[in-house]
Structure 1
Amino acid sequence: MTLRPLRQPRQFTGRHMLAIMVAFFGTIIAVNLVMATFANTSWTGLVVQNTYVASQQFNERVAEARAQQSLGWKGALAIKAGEIRYSLVDASGAPVPAESVTVSFRRPSYEAEDWQVKLERAADGAYVVPAAVRDGNWIVNTEAVIPNGAPYREARRIVVSKGEVK
Protein backbone atom coordinates (compact mmCIF):
# COMPACT_ATOMS: atom_id res chain seq x y z
CA MET A 1 0.00 0.00 0.00
CA THR A 2 1.34 3.36 -1.03
CA LEU A 3 0.53 6.54 0.71
CA ARG A 4 -0.16 9.56 -1.35
CA PRO A 5 1.02 12.84 -0.04
CA LEU A 6 -1.80 15.14 1.05
CA ARG A 7 -2.37 18.09 -1.22
CA GLN A 8 -1.63 21.40 0.39
CA PRO A 9 -4.63 23.80 0.39
CA ARG A 10 -4.25 26.78 -1.92
CA GLN A 11 -3.25 29.91 -0.22
CA PHE A 12 -5.71 32.85 -0.16
CA THR A 13 -3.88 35.75 -1.75
CA GLY A 14 -4.49 39.41 -2.36
CA ARG A 15 -5.55 38.58 -5.93
CA HIS A 16 -8.36 36.40 -4.60
CA MET A 17 -9.53 39.21 -2.36
CA LEU A 18 -9.35 41.69 -5.24
CA ALA A 19 -11.46 39.36 -7.44
CA ILE A 20 -14.09 39.02 -4.69
CA MET A 21 -14.25 42.78 -4.11
CA VAL A 22 -14.49 43.58 -7.84
CA ALA A 23 -17.26 40.98 -8.32
CA PHE A 24 -19.20 42.22 -5.27
CA PHE A 25 -19.05 45.94 -6.00
CA GLY A 26 -19.33 45.39 -9.77
CA THR A 27 -22.65 43.61 -9.23
CA ILE A 28 -23.96 46.40 -7.01
CA ILE A 29 -22.90 49.11 -9.46
CA ALA A 30 -24.38 47.23 -12.44
CA VAL A 31 -27.74 46.79 -10.68
CA ASN A 32 -27.80 50.48 -9.67
CA LEU A 33 -27.07 51.57 -13.25
CA VAL A 34 -29.85 49.35 -14.64
CA MET A 35 -32.37 50.61 -12.06
CA ALA A 36 -31.38 54.26 -12.64
CA THR A 37 -31.79 53.80 -16.40
CA PHE A 38 -35.26 52.29 -15.95
CA ALA A 39 -36.26 55.09 -13.57
CA ASN A 40 -34.98 57.79 -15.90
CA THR A 41 -36.71 56.44 -19.01
CA SER A 42 -40.08 55.61 -17.48
CA TRP A 43 -41.36 58.60 -15.46
CA THR A 44 -39.89 61.98 -14.70
CA GLY A 45 -41.65 62.27 -11.35
CA LEU A 46 -42.73 65.77 -12.36
CA VAL A 47 -46.25 66.58 -11.23
CA VAL A 48 -46.22 70.36 -11.73
CA GLN A 49 -43.65 72.63 -13.36
CA ASN A 50 -43.49 75.02 -10.43
CA THR A 51 -44.81 74.03 -7.01
CA TYR A 52 -44.93 77.63 -5.77
CA VAL A 53 -47.14 78.75 -8.65
CA ALA A 54 -49.35 75.67 -8.22
CA SER A 55 -49.79 76.45 -4.53
CA GLN A 56 -50.82 80.03 -5.36
CA GLN A 57 -53.49 78.72 -7.76
CA PHE A 58 -54.90 76.17 -5.33
CA ASN A 59 -57.60 78.39 -3.82
CA GLU A 60 -58.69 79.50 -7.29
CA ARG A 61 -59.06 75.90 -8.41
CA VAL A 62 -61.06 74.99 -5.31
CA ALA A 63 -63.42 77.92 -5.94
CA GLU A 64 -63.82 76.86 -9.59
CA ALA A 65 -64.55 73.28 -8.54
CA ARG A 66 -67.20 74.41 -6.04
CA ALA A 67 -68.85 76.66 -8.63
CA GLN A 68 -68.80 73.82 -11.13
CA GLN A 69 -70.28 71.40 -8.59
CA SER A 70 -73.10 73.83 -7.78
CA LEU A 71 -74.27 73.64 -11.42
CA GLY A 72 -75.38 70.04 -10.91
CA TRP A 73 -73.96 68.91 -14.25
CA LYS A 74 -72.93 65.31 -14.80
CA GLY A 75 -70.33 64.08 -17.26
CA ALA A 76 -70.18 60.51 -18.52
CA LEU A 77 -67.23 58.95 -20.33
CA ALA A 78 -67.61 55.72 -22.29
CA ILE A 79 -64.95 53.81 -24.19
CA LYS A 80 -66.26 50.96 -26.27
CA ALA A 81 -65.81 49.41 -29.71
CA GLY A 82 -62.93 51.71 -30.67
CA GLU A 83 -64.84 54.88 -29.79
CA ILE A 84 -64.53 57.48 -27.05
CA ARG A 85 -67.86 59.06 -26.11
CA TYR A 86 -68.42 61.85 -23.60
CA SER A 87 -71.76 63.35 -22.66
CA LEU A 88 -72.44 66.29 -20.39
CA VAL A 89 -75.94 66.90 -19.05
CA ASP A 90 -77.37 69.54 -16.76
CA ALA A 91 -79.36 68.92 -13.57
CA SER A 92 -82.55 68.32 -15.59
CA GLY A 93 -80.86 65.79 -17.88
CA ALA A 94 -80.66 68.05 -20.96
CA PRO A 95 -77.39 68.01 -22.95
CA VAL A 96 -75.06 70.92 -22.26
CA PRO A 97 -73.70 72.44 -25.49
CA ALA A 98 -69.95 72.94 -25.55
CA GLU A 99 -67.73 74.68 -28.08
CA SER A 100 -65.16 71.91 -27.78
CA VAL A 101 -64.35 68.88 -25.66
CA THR A 102 -60.79 67.66 -25.14
CA VAL A 103 -59.91 64.41 -23.38
CA SER A 104 -56.36 63.81 -22.09
CA PHE A 105 -55.17 60.32 -21.21
CA ARG A 106 -52.24 59.94 -18.83
CA ARG A 107 -50.65 56.84 -17.37
CA PRO A 108 -50.28 57.14 -13.59
CA SER A 109 -46.55 56.40 -13.74
CA TYR A 110 -45.37 56.41 -17.34
CA GLU A 111 -45.57 59.59 -19.39
CA ALA A 112 -44.39 58.16 -22.72
CA GLU A 113 -47.93 56.94 -23.48
CA ASP A 114 -49.73 60.18 -22.59
CA TRP A 115 -51.97 61.58 -25.32
CA GLN A 116 -55.02 63.74 -25.88
CA VAL A 117 -57.81 63.91 -28.40
CA LYS A 118 -60.45 66.47 -29.36
CA LEU A 119 -63.99 65.09 -29.57
CA GLU A 120 -66.59 66.10 -32.16
CA ARG A 121 -70.25 66.77 -31.41
CA ALA A 122 -72.63 64.00 -32.48
CA ALA A 123 -76.31 64.31 -33.41
CA ASP A 124 -77.45 63.06 -29.99
CA GLY A 125 -75.57 65.86 -28.16
CA ALA A 126 -72.68 63.67 -27.05
CA TYR A 127 -69.07 64.21 -28.11
CA VAL A 128 -67.43 61.34 -29.98
CA VAL A 129 -64.21 60.36 -31.68
CA PRO A 130 -63.08 57.01 -33.07
CA ALA A 131 -59.95 56.04 -31.15
CA ALA A 132 -58.60 52.87 -29.58
CA VAL A 133 -57.46 53.16 -25.99
CA ARG A 134 -54.80 50.73 -24.82
CA ASP A 135 -55.62 48.46 -21.91
CA GLY A 136 -54.46 49.45 -18.44
CA ASN A 137 -54.83 52.19 -15.85
CA TRP A 138 -55.40 55.75 -17.04
CA ILE A 139 -55.97 59.16 -15.51
CA VAL A 140 -58.46 60.90 -17.78
CA ASN A 141 -58.83 64.69 -17.72
CA THR A 142 -61.82 66.06 -19.63
CA GLU A 143 -62.25 69.73 -20.43
CA ALA A 144 -65.41 71.07 -22.06
CA VAL A 145 -65.26 74.70 -23.18
CA ILE A 146 -68.70 76.16 -22.47
CA PRO A 147 -69.81 79.28 -24.38
CA ASN A 148 -69.84 82.37 -22.13
CA GLY A 149 -68.68 80.37 -19.11
CA ALA A 150 -65.79 78.75 -17.36
CA PRO A 151 -64.50 75.47 -18.75
CA TYR A 152 -66.08 72.36 -17.25
CA ARG A 153 -63.26 70.08 -16.04
CA GLU A 154 -63.35 66.52 -14.79
CA ALA A 155 -60.62 64.13 -13.75
CA ARG A 156 -61.12 60.43 -13.18
CA ARG A 157 -59.15 57.21 -12.97
CA ILE A 158 -60.29 54.40 -15.22
CA VAL A 159 -59.22 50.88 -16.04
CA VAL A 160 -59.49 49.83 -19.67
CA SER A 161 -59.70 46.10 -20.36
CA LYS A 162 -60.22 44.64 -23.84
CA GLY A 163 -60.85 48.13 -25.21
CA GLU A 164 -63.62 49.02 -22.75
CA VAL A 165 -63.89 50.86 -19.44
CA LYS A 166 -64.47 48.42 -16.59
Structure 2
Amino acid sequence: MTHTKSFVFTGWHMMGVVCLFFGTIISVNFYMAYQAVHSWSGLVVENTYVASQQFNSKVAEAKALGASGVTGTLSVEKGVIRYVITGPDQKPVPIDTVTATFKRPVGDHQDFSVTLSDVGNGTYEAAREVATGHWIVDTSAMRNGQRILHHNKRIAVIGEVK
Protein backbone atom coordinates (compact mmCIF):
# COMPACT_ATOMS: atom_id res chain seq x y z
CA MET A 1 0.00 0.00 0.00
CA THR A 2 1.33 3.36 -1.06
CA HIS A 3 0.84 6.34 1.15
CA THR A 4 1.34 9.80 -0.40
CA LYS A 5 1.65 13.00 1.55
CA SER A 6 -0.79 15.66 0.50
CA PHE A 7 1.24 18.60 1.85
CA VAL A 8 4.97 19.21 2.00
CA PHE A 9 6.33 22.17 3.97
CA THR A 10 8.93 23.76 1.70
CA GLY A 11 11.36 26.66 1.91
CA TRP A 12 8.78 28.90 0.21
CA HIS A 13 6.33 28.18 3.00
CA MET A 14 8.97 29.07 5.59
CA MET A 15 9.72 32.31 3.80
CA GLY A 16 6.00 33.15 3.88
CA VAL A 17 5.84 32.46 7.62
CA VAL A 18 8.89 34.68 8.27
CA CYS A 19 7.49 37.50 6.09
CA LEU A 20 4.10 37.35 7.83
CA PHE A 21 5.73 37.32 11.26
CA PHE A 22 8.01 40.29 10.65
CA GLY A 23 5.36 42.06 8.57
CA THR A 24 3.02 41.92 11.56
CA ILE A 25 5.69 43.27 13.91
CA ILE A 26 6.63 46.10 11.54
CA SER A 27 3.03 47.09 10.79
CA VAL A 28 2.16 47.19 14.51
CA ASN A 29 5.22 49.37 15.17
CA PHE A 30 4.23 51.78 12.39
CA TYR A 31 0.66 51.92 13.72
CA MET A 32 1.85 52.65 17.27
CA ALA A 33 4.27 55.33 16.05
CA TYR A 34 1.47 56.96 14.04
CA GLN A 35 -0.83 56.95 17.08
CA ALA A 36 1.90 58.42 19.29
CA VAL A 37 2.57 61.28 16.90
CA HIS A 38 -1.07 62.10 16.17
CA SER A 39 -2.71 61.63 19.55
CA TRP A 40 -0.33 63.29 22.02
CA SER A 41 1.10 66.67 21.29
CA GLY A 42 3.67 66.59 24.06
CA LEU A 43 4.37 69.34 26.51
CA VAL A 44 7.37 71.60 26.68
CA VAL A 45 8.79 72.07 30.16
CA GLU A 46 12.17 73.43 31.07
CA ASN A 47 13.00 70.61 33.47
CA THR A 48 11.01 67.39 33.38
CA TYR A 49 12.31 66.26 36.78
CA VAL A 50 11.12 69.45 38.51
CA ALA A 51 7.76 69.25 36.69
CA SER A 52 7.26 65.68 37.89
CA GLN A 53 8.03 66.70 41.50
CA GLN A 54 5.42 69.49 41.35
CA PHE A 55 2.66 67.28 39.96
CA ASN A 56 0.98 66.25 43.23
CA SER A 57 0.88 69.80 44.62
CA LYS A 58 -0.62 71.05 41.36
CA VAL A 59 -3.30 68.35 41.48
CA ALA A 60 -4.17 69.29 45.08
CA GLU A 61 -4.41 72.98 44.13
CA ALA A 62 -6.61 72.14 41.13
CA LYS A 63 -8.99 70.13 43.34
CA ALA A 64 -9.24 72.99 45.84
CA LEU A 65 -9.84 75.57 43.11
CA GLY A 66 -12.42 73.32 41.43
CA ALA A 67 -14.32 72.96 44.70
CA SER A 68 -14.60 76.76 45.04
CA GLY A 69 -17.11 76.90 42.19
CA VAL A 70 -15.37 79.84 40.47
CA THR A 71 -15.29 79.19 36.72
CA GLY A 72 -14.00 80.96 33.65
CA THR A 73 -14.92 80.99 29.98
CA LEU A 74 -12.30 81.81 27.36
CA SER A 75 -12.92 83.12 23.86
CA VAL A 76 -10.53 84.33 21.18
CA GLU A 77 -12.04 86.13 18.21
CA LYS A 78 -11.35 89.12 15.97
CA GLY A 79 -8.16 90.17 17.73
CA VAL A 80 -9.68 90.09 21.23
CA ILE A 81 -8.91 87.63 24.00
CA ARG A 82 -11.88 87.53 26.39
CA TYR A 83 -12.22 85.73 29.69
CA VAL A 84 -15.43 85.81 31.75
CA ILE A 85 -15.21 84.78 35.40
CA THR A 86 -18.25 83.81 37.45
CA GLY A 87 -18.79 82.42 40.92
CA PRO A 88 -20.90 79.46 41.98
CA ASP A 89 -23.97 81.74 41.98
CA GLN A 90 -23.24 82.76 38.35
CA LYS A 91 -22.41 86.32 39.48
CA PRO A 92 -19.15 88.13 38.61
CA VAL A 93 -16.20 87.57 40.94
CA PRO A 94 -13.86 90.49 41.76
CA ILE A 95 -10.32 89.78 40.55
CA ASP A 96 -7.10 91.82 40.82
CA THR A 97 -5.24 90.40 37.81
CA VAL A 98 -5.96 87.90 35.06
CA THR A 99 -3.07 86.51 33.02
CA ALA A 100 -3.36 84.22 30.01
CA THR A 101 -0.34 82.33 28.73
CA PHE A 102 -0.66 80.95 25.20
CA LYS A 103 1.61 77.99 24.43
CA ARG A 104 1.95 75.94 21.27
CA PRO A 105 1.53 72.20 21.95
CA VAL A 106 5.01 71.54 20.58
CA GLY A 107 7.77 74.12 20.59
CA ASP A 108 7.90 77.43 22.40
CA HIS A 109 8.98 79.97 19.78
CA GLN A 110 5.46 81.49 19.46
CA ASP A 111 4.47 81.36 23.14
CA PHE A 112 3.31 84.58 24.78
CA SER A 113 1.60 85.90 27.91
CA VAL A 114 -0.92 88.69 28.14
CA THR A 115 -2.52 90.47 31.09
CA LEU A 116 -6.23 90.99 30.61
CA SER A 117 -7.92 94.23 31.67
CA ASP A 118 -11.15 94.44 33.64
CA VAL A 119 -13.97 95.70 31.37
CA GLY A 120 -16.69 95.16 33.97
CA ASN A 121 -19.24 92.55 34.89
CA GLY A 122 -16.63 89.82 35.41
CA THR A 123 -15.23 90.20 31.90
CA TYR A 124 -11.52 90.64 31.21
CA GLU A 125 -10.09 91.43 27.78
CA ALA A 126 -6.90 92.10 25.89
CA ALA A 127 -6.48 93.23 22.30
CA ARG A 128 -4.06 90.76 20.74
CA GLU A 129 -3.98 88.87 17.45
CA VAL A 130 -3.52 85.15 17.98
CA ALA A 131 -2.02 83.11 15.15
CA THR A 132 -4.13 80.32 13.73
CA GLY A 133 -3.59 76.78 14.91
CA HIS A 134 -3.68 74.86 18.17
CA TRP A 135 -2.84 76.49 21.49
CA ILE A 136 -2.80 75.48 25.13
CA VAL A 137 -4.05 78.46 27.14
CA ASP A 138 -3.12 78.63 30.81
CA THR A 139 -5.23 81.31 32.55
CA SER A 140 -4.70 82.45 36.15
CA ALA A 141 -6.87 84.83 38.15
CA MET A 142 -5.38 86.38 41.29
CA ARG A 143 -7.05 88.22 44.18
CA ASN A 144 -5.12 89.58 47.16
CA GLY A 145 -1.99 87.73 46.02
CA GLN A 146 -3.72 84.34 45.93
CA ARG A 147 -4.78 82.36 42.92
CA ILE A 148 -8.53 81.81 42.95
CA LEU A 149 -8.87 80.39 39.44
CA HIS A 150 -6.51 78.37 37.27
CA HIS A 151 -7.76 77.14 33.94
CA ASN A 152 -5.94 75.14 31.26
CA LYS A 153 -7.68 74.72 27.94
CA ARG A 154 -6.61 73.52 24.54
CA ILE A 155 -8.12 75.63 21.78
CA ALA A 156 -7.94 75.88 18.01
CA VAL A 157 -7.87 79.31 16.43
CA ILE A 158 -9.35 78.99 12.97
CA GLY A 159 -9.26 81.63 10.27
CA GLU A 160 -6.82 84.17 8.97
CA VAL A 161 -5.11 86.70 11.19
CA LYS A 162 -5.23 90.09 9.48
Instruction: Give the alignment's TM-score, normalised by structure 1.
Output: 0.65
| Aligned length, in residue pairs | 120
Secondary structure at the aligned position of 2:54 is classed as helix
State the match for 1:38 in structure 2: none
Is residue 47 of structure 2 the alignment partner of residue 50 of structure 1?
yes
Amino acid at match of 1:61: K
Amino acid at match of 1:161: I
Q: After TM superposition, what 4+ stretches of structure 1 lie above 6 angstroms from structure 2?
A: none
User: What are the Cα deviations for residues 26-70 of structure 1, in whole angstroms up to 9, with x where unaligned?
Assistant: xxxxxxxxxxxxxxxxxxx87333333323222211110110110
CA contact (8 A) 2:86 2:122 kept: no
CA contact (8 A) 1:143 1:154 kept: yes
State the match for 2:141 in structure 1: 144
Instruction: Give the alignment's TM-score, normalised by structure 2.
Output: 0.67
State the match for 1:89 in structure 2: 86
Is residue 49 of structure 2 the alignment partner of residue 67 of structure 1?
no
Shift of 1:95: 1.0
**Alignment partners' CA distance in 2, 1:94 and 1:68:** 17
Secondary structure at the aligned position of 2:109 is classed as helix
State the match for 2:120 in structure 1: 123
Q: Structure 2: which 5+ residue stretches go unaligned?
A: 1-41
Shift of 1:123: 2.3
**Alignment partners' CA distance in 2, 1:132 and 1:64:** 31
Amino acid at match of 1:126: T
Amino acid at match of 2:66: Q
Q: Structure 1: which 5+ residue stretches go unaligned?
A: 1-44
Q: CA RMSD in A?
A: 2.0
Match of 2:98 among 93, 96, 101: 101
